[in-house]
A and B are shown apart, each in its own frame.
Chain A
Amino acid sequence: MTDGTTESVESFRLRARAWLAANMPRAEESAPAPGDELEAWHRARELQRKLYEGGFAGICYPAEYGGLGLTPAHQRAFTEEADGYEMPLLLNIPTLSICLPTILDMGSEEHKREHIGAVLRGEEVLVQFLSEPSGGSDLAGLLTRAELDGDTWILNGAKTWSSSAYAGDYALCLARTDPTVPKHHGLTMFLMPTKGEGITMNRVAMVDGTAEFCEEFFDNVRLPASAVVGEVNGGWAVATRQLYHERTAMGGGSPYVSGRGFAPSRKLPTPIDVARAAGRAGDPEVRELIGEWLATSTVSGQTAARVTRAIAGGHLPPAAASLMRLMGAEAMRLERDVAMRVAGACAAVAAGDEPGVLGEAGIGYLMRQGSSLGGGSVEMSRNIVSERLLGMPREYAADRGVPFNQVRRGRA
């Protein structure tokens, strides 16, 4: 990065290798105890700060906002070198790969100056306030209102499925600012503090015992005009960009991450762990199942890489990100199926009063559909692929072109 020329990927890789070895802890030595989640978040911020100080944070973020301004190839090289090191994976989704890219694409100069550097230094965590209790797939039909009182926006409503919002500092929040126009035209995106006055936050308990998701209630939450991201009533364009980044990230194709993958809310045994624990590694049928899972997860990664390249090169439209989302969900469903089937007779009742590796396969199976729902259901992705990639006719929608305040709503 001297005298205005870009460092070669190879030179960057070698520098990263040396720096990682000298500065970052190995993954296996320092994994935080499960369940100790606030400590894990503190740890992630600390690791991110280390990356920043070492000059390896925000590889693909522009240098003027605190990143390195390098290419996805540099990012991939770093990610490969970072395998085996403890990385701040908790920050990857949604902070680094969804919220911050959206701010970079659509935010004001002030947003970028204030938040990109802060995130890259490990000082800020960003989350999303999108889904609402009234509906998941029909995001643009949301009910949370934002009304102007002089120069101040007043928010009222409720949000849910906000991943790790309890650990967040700021949230991208989509709200209705004009109910008299069709649904997509009356939305505005806000960048708001998560712990301001009027916000009540609860955690949602899931079937596997985790509580990563939160729900929020807004009671006259006040935001300044500068909190608007993009245009007033132009929130759908921002949300579309955000959802694109989300699909890319979920499919493993984001160039904005620190380290490979993201932190699972619960560490599950792989089918290989399960086969060993069940003493079934020698069973040809089990080996076949495991081979099928290995192949499918490899193919999922290969598909993400191919689609990401094709979108970047203009060979596929951005809607193609749904292909990696669908493939990723399929691989994840298979992983849970294979783990449960390999656990066989021991998936449902443990040897003692703890679930153990085999019981974890059973618990993981309960959350099988999680990856097919999170980040937009696979049904929505299938609509996107068939309509935008294959050009098939769009689904009938009773609310198309209808002012939002005249659209019929259900009771649930």
Chain B
Amino acid sequence: MDPELSPDQKLFEAAAKDFLDKEYPLDRIRRMDAGAGFDRDWWRRGAELGWTAMLVPEELGGGSVSGEGVRDLALLAEVLGAGVAPGPLLATNTVLAGLVAAHGTGPDHSAAIESLVSGEAVATWAVYEPGRQWAPLEPGLTARPAEGGFRLDGVKDRVEAAGDADLFLVTAATPQGTAQFLVPAATPGVTVERQWSLDLARHHGAVRFDGVRVDEAAMVGRPGAGEVVERQTQVALVIQCAEVCGGLDRVFEMTTQWARDRYTFGRPIASYQALKHRFADMRTWLEACHATTAAAASAVQEGSAGAAEPVSTAKSYVGDRSLAILQDCVQIHGGIGLTWEHDLHLYLRRATSNRSLYGTPQDHRRRLADLASL
């Protein structure tokens, strides 16, 4: 909903919206089979629309509408968030952010990048571990040197789209520090178990690595290169916040319309000051969520060293404030807002899921205190 979009960005936005509305209307998402992933053909067509190319430079087969890939990606995430879209937008683009950031510093992954950009392959970041909070640079999974390569042992969980992924980008502890490896799902010793997920359209799994042998070419970048993990984190957070902004726009619009149409005691509920003031606060927070998300996207776009601060600011703010808005929208809808048939829970599921992953608002507040040299 950025009023300052270029004509090309507007076209891109409209194409994504049309495609989503046609293929994955909310009703289809509500009825998504708990066991099913997303439609791979749908994702391939999304890739043809440019959904996986934005963070990838042209020489590696990518490109973006405005030339500012992170901003375009945030725009797309808003559109897809407004429809609670399925698909590995966050998972694949986060991996691509890492592969591109590490490009030229370690083994070559340009073939993997190409397959992800085309939509033929899907990748995801295996970074969380069972029972642990957000600590991307402290993996318990080990990668021990073993005859021309490494042997991976350990378990990752909360891995988005784990059941659909062809490639896992795995954080691992090596003798030289934390490193990342790009591991095909079909590698012997890799097993995936489905995990229950709050978000109906986005599934997660636990991925076990039992003596998985990879060669040196599987490494992404170099060990100890925390800035690649940081870049991935930043991209994931920008996508999360933008998705939530898109969802909030839709829910806020839906709820103001409801308040105008719904009458009690002979007047629309939008005429009660007790509700008008809550709408005013929600409208303010909505603007604030967009403002901080746009600022985070710009900082990540510029790749500035100071990007961590605006990104953590956005996650800290949007993560909690979005839920305050959504729960108040449920309250204003009344009992209908708690029913399965209503759309509200689809948004609440996505926002709650996004709040909890890649660092909670509390994690990011502590990081802001660190960054302020307190």
Q: Contacts A299-B291, A302-B288 known; A387 to B365 CB distance under 8 Å? A: no
Interface string of B257-275 (1 = CB under 8 A from A): 0011000000110110100
Answer yes or no: B7 CB below 8 A from chain A CBs.
no
User: Which chain B residues (275-301) contact chain A, with CB distance < 8 Å?
Assistant: 276-277, 279-281, 283-284, 287-288, 290-292, 294-295
Interface assignment of B368: CB less than 8 Å from any CB of chain A:
yes
Establish whether residues B369 and A299, one from each chain, have CB atoms under 8 Å apart when the complex forms.
no
A381 with B280: CB separation less than 8 A: yes
Most buried by B among A300, A313, A322, A393: A393
A291 and B364 in contact, given A299-B291, A306-B287 (Cβ under 8 angstroms): yes
Flag if B291 contacts A393 (CB, 8 Å).
no
Contact present for B291 and A294 (CB under 8 Å) = no
Does A306 lie within 8 Å of B316, measured CB to CB? no
Which single residue of chain A is at the shortest CB-CB distance from B267? Answer: A393
Chain B nearest CB from A371 CB (Å) reads: 14
Distance (whole angstroms) from the CB of A386 to the closest CB of chain B = 4
Bound complex: CA of A313 vs CA of B292, how far in Å? Answer: 19
B interface residues, how many (CB within 8 angstroms): 41
The smallest beta-carbon distance between B166 and chain A, in angstroms, is 37
Q: Which residue of B lies closest to A291 (CB)?
A: B365
A287 touches B281 (CB 8 A): no
With contact pairs A294-B369, A300-B288, A379-B277 given, residues A323 and B283 touching in the complex (Cβ less than 8 Å): yes
A60 cross-chain contacts in B, Cβ below 8 A: none
Q: Chain A residues with Cβ under 8 A from B256's Cβ?
A: 390, 392
Q: Is the CB of A294 within 8 A of B280?
A: no
Specify which of B270, B277, B287, B374 is in contact with A323 (CB 8 Å cutoff). Answer: B287
Say how far B81's CB is from chain A's closest CB, in angstroms.
Answer: 19
* Interface membership of chain B positions 121-152, coded 1 if the CB is closer than 8 angstroms to chain A and 0 otherwise: 00000000000000000000000000000000
CA distance A275 to B292 in the complex (A): 26
Chain B: which residue is nearest A296 at the CB level? B317
Query: Would B284 and A326 count as touching, CB distance under 8 A?
Result: yes
In the bound complex, residues from chain A placing their C-beta under 8 Å from that of B362 are 288
Question: Out of B270, B290, B316, B374, which one reaches A392, CB within 8 Å?
Answer: B270
With CB as the reference atom, state the residue of chain A lying closest to B319. Answer: A295
Chain A residues touching B, range: 35 or more
A298 at the interface (CB under 8 A from B): yes
Contact B317 A295 (CB under 8 A): yes
Question: Is A352 an interface residue when CB atoms closer than 8 A count as contact?
Answer: no
Q: Chain B, 237-250, contact with A by CB distance < 8 Å: what is the 0/1 string?
A: 00000000000000
Which residues of B line the A interface, CB within 8 A?
A: 3-4, 256, 259-260, 267-268, 270-271, 273, 276-277, 279-281, 283-284, 287-288, 290-292, 294-295, 309-310, 312-313, 316-317, 361-362, 364-370, 372, 374
Chain A residues near B (Cβ < 8 Å): 272, 275-276, 281, 284, 287-292, 294-296, 298-300, 302-303, 305-307, 309-310, 313, 315, 320, 322-323, 326-327, 330, 379, 381-387, 389-390, 392-393, 395
Chosen A-B contacts, 15 in total, with CB atoms closer than 8 Å, are A281-B374, A284-B366, A288-B369, A290-B369, A291-B369, A295-B313, A295-B365, A299-B313, A302-B288, A303-B287, A315-B3, A383-B280, A386-B283, A392-B271, A392-B276
Instruction: Report the 4 A-B pairs with minimum CB-CB distance, sorted nearest first.
Output: A291-B365, A386-B276, A315-B3, A382-B280
Other A-B pairs, 16, CB within 8 Å; known A290-B372, A294-B369, A383-B280: A284-B366, A287-B366, A290-B368, A291-B365, A292-B361, A292-B365, A295-B317, A298-B313, A307-B287, A315-B4, A323-B283, A386-B276, A386-B283, A390-B256, A390-B276, A393-B271
